[in-house]
Amino acid sequence: MRVLPRKGLSRALGAVTRVGAPKSGVERAIDVFVRAYDVDLSEAVRPEGGYATFNDFFTRRLVPGARPIDPAVESIVSPSDGSLEALGLVGDDSSFEIKGKRYTPAELLGSERLAEAFRGGAHGTIYLSPRDYHRVHAPVSGRVLSVEYVAGTLYPVNSIGTEYVDGLFARNERVCVVQESETHGLVATILVGAIGVGRMSLAFEDLVTNAGTPARRIEYGEDGPFLEKGQELGIFNLGSTVIFFVDGRCKLDLEARVGTPVRMGERIATGRIT
């Protein structure tokens, strides 16, 4: 994996998926993909005339009501569809485990100062497979305080990558979105790129990764956009991983079970800052 031009391959693959002609080829590719991965298109918005490109299909929207958002004020919802790979508390040493590997919030967030807010708080990891819905949504209602694009490499995030690449999630490029919630305090949602998935974009900011974009940090302060729980936050242009952190002041009941599938909008934890 070390000798592969991972970011270049990802850019090339992304370019191919955004090509719209010939239409018959796009339709065949989508049909093969749907059959191979058992994709449920009954809940997808399908444009009149079909999807123009494979990427349009992959980043498809869902019909209204396909993902009900848990309405409880104290609930934290899953930001995406996928498999819940980890859910727990950040230890006293500020570390936690994902797939048998130890990480710290600072490694993933790219900021020791910001990581302090999540000491003793909760963390979760969701893996999106190729068949999943690939838009990411806000897990809580709150104002966006900052966005950090951390440039990195693009290792695969499947079982091979997580087993054999040390510090995988801290080495791959990622986008960290930090919200401030009246109920839950600071909540960070991290979109992690992967080989073939090195293109992520945000719904509220003109930022596209792995497109020659340098690392950057955007501080909004009080002028940041307010995202309601379940509102679209960003898009993976091929599948990957979402990691989230919840403020250490927030006393949580972690309700979802690790190793089970989750759907965007369903409750995974309940609590509030104390």
The catalytic site residues sit at: 81, 137, 240
Residue 225 DSSP class: P
Q: Hey, what's the torsion of the CAs at 68, 72, 73, 77, to 10 degrees?
A: -50
CA 38 – CA 81 distance, rounded (Å): 15
Concatenate the DSSP letters of all residues of 64-88 into one string. TTSSPPP--TTEEE-SSSEEEEEEE
- For the beta carbon of residue 50, count every other beta carbon within 10 angstroms: 12
Interacting residues of 240 by C-beta distance below 8 A, sequence separation 6+ = 127, 128, 157, 191, 192, 193, 194, 197, 200
What is the 3-state secondary structure of 125-166?
EEECCCCCCCEEECCCCEEEEEEEEECCECCCCCHHHHHHCC
Q: How far apart are CA 247 and CA 97, in angstroms?
A: 18
Phi, psi (degrees; rounded to nearest 5) at 202: -110, 150
Residue 187's nearest CA partner among 230, 232, 134, 123 is 123
Read off φ and ψ for residue 33, nearest 5 degrees: -65, -45
Q: CA 248 → CA 43, 114, 142, 185, 273, distances in Å? A: 36, 12, 16, 8, 8
